């Protein structure tokens, strides 16, 4: 009896997952199921065996292999700067995430919505549609990331009013002004969480003669990072372990918040310049709306302390961070799938 009940429960789970929203990010891939929320949040990493070209691991398991593989195995990120760099690997990754969400023995092929960069070409869009359908989707919807980020952040995008979204992900920062469900003005900068981490690692190497990995740099950013300098009394410290470049031996040092602010200043400038460039292209009526409503920050890197304050100070327009910024794109995909009629003008491509 117990076994019977268990199998019935399993079937019910399979029947109900008919729609999946996927945020295929440079650093992490998030899968959203309407009614369930974010069910998967794993690194966008794939491990391949070079001997027979087989995929060995995806997501968390593959990330553990980064920098630790023998010559016969390669762990890599198939997304670079927000764009798909390897379609075969991306298709395998999509299949893995779809199967993990719906179960390998599903009764229905799900409708899948994939978030893509605002600057995607028609060829790239076609390739994403094909990869999604080959991975097991019944229908593939391709929507531009800033639109989904805005929906996930709770912005009423179908209104005849200007809304600005600043989506700072792992590989890119995308800034867009949205009105009546479409993008009016946008710009993208190849600056995101990854470049910020690299800048911190480079700063520690130059200033302290200490070699650290990008994962350690990310830990520094999350623990004590700030976009604006702090008063000396409010500064925080973080103990870093790495390899001394002079002696080659392990060494501990302390890094302060304002050192991190100095390290990432160039990246912050680039993000601010991108925001200014979009505002300069925005029609006057929509600019007035943005002044009233403010700009919304989304994406994982939006969690950096004082980033909204830095942008507000530099641009002179109110800036706010969305609730759970790293989940905005995935949430937006789920909401758009659930209300396709409402958001049909924002859906860029379907097959």
pLDDT in the model for residue 22: 92
pLDDT at 74 over 90: no
pLDDT in the model for residue 68: 74
Q: Where are the beta strands (DSSP E) in 227-345?
A: 237-244, 250-256, 295-298, 319-321
Residue 66, CA distances (Å) to 10, 54, 57, 84 in order = 34, 17, 11, 19
Mind listing the pLDDT tens digit for each residue in 271-286?
999 999 999 999 999 9
- Length of the chain equals 351
The Cα 218–Cα 243 span in angstroms is: 17
Band (106; pLDDT cuts 50, 70, 90): low
Average pLDDT over all residues of the chain: 87
The structural domains of the chain, with segments of one domain joined by +, span 2-147+331-350, 160-191+267-325, 193-265
Band (338; pLDDT cuts 50, 70, 90): confident
Pick the CATH number of 160-191+267-325 from 1.20.1440.230, 3.30.420.10, 3.90.550.10, 3.30.420.40: 3.30.420.40
Tokens of 200: 């911190």
- With 0-12 / 13-18 / 19 or more C-beta atoms within 10 angstroms meaning exposed / middle / buried, residue 293 is middle
Q: Which pTM does this prediction carry?
A: 0.86
Question: Mean pLDDT throughout 16-22?
Answer: 82
Band (6; pLDDT cuts 50, 70, 90): very low
CATH number for the domain running over 2-147+331-350: 3.30.420.40
Mind listing the pLDDT tens digit for each residue in 296-314?
999 999 999 999 999 999 9
Mind listing the pLDDT tens digit for each residue in 149-180?
999 999 999 999 999 999 999 888 999 999 99
pLDDT at 348 over 70: no
Residue the block writes with tokens 């009629």: 341
- Cβ-proximal residues to 237 (8 Å cutoff; 6+ apart), any chain: 224, 254, 255, 256, 257
pLDDT in the model for residue 301: 92
CATH superfamily, domain at 193-265: ATPase, substrate binding domain, subdomain 4 (3.90.640.10)
């Amino acid at each position: 009896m117990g076994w019977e009940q268990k199998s019935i429960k399993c079937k019910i789970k399979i029947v109900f997952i008919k729609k999946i929203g996927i945020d295929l990010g440079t650093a992490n891939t998030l899968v959203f199921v309407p009614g369930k929320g974010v069910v998967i949040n794993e690194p966008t990493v794939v491990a391949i065996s070079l001997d027979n070209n087989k995929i060995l691991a995806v997501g968390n398991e593959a990330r553990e292999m980064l920098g630790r593989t023998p010559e016969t195995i390669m762990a890599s990120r198939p997304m670079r700067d927000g764009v798909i760099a390897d379609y075969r690997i991306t298709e395998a990754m999509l299949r893995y995430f779809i199967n993990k969400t719906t179960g390998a023995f599903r009764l229905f092929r799900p409708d899948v919505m994939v978030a893509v960069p605002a600057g995607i070409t028609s060829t790239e869009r076609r390739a994403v549609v094909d990869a999604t359908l080959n991975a097991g989707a019944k229908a593939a919807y391709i929507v531009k990331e800033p639109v989904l980020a805005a929906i996930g952040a709770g912005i009423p995008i179908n209104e005849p009013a200007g809304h600005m979204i600043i989506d700072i992900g792992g590989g890119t920062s995308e800034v867009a002004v949205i009105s009546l469900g479409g993008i009016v003005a946008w710009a993208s900068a190849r600056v995101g969480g990854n470049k910020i981490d690299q800048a911190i690692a480079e700063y520690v190497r130059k200033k302290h003669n200490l070699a650290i990995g990008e994962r350690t740099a990310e830990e520094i950013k999350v623990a004590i990072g700030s976009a604006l300098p702090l008063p000396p009394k409010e500064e925080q410290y973080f103990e870093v372990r790495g390899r001394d470049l002079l002696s080659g031996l392990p060494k501990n040092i302390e890094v302060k918040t304002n050192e991190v602010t100095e390290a990432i200043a160039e990246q912050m400038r680039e993000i601010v310049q991108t925001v200014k460039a979009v505002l300069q292209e925005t029609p006057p009526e929509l600019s007035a709306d943005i002044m009233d409503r403010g700009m919304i920050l989304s994406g994982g890197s939006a969690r950096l302390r004082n980033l909204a304050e830095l942008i507000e100070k530099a641009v002179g327009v109110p800036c706010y961070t969305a609730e759970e910024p790293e989940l905005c794109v995935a949430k937006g995909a789920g909401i758009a799938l659930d209300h396709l009629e409402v958001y049909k003008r924002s859906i860029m491509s379907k097959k």
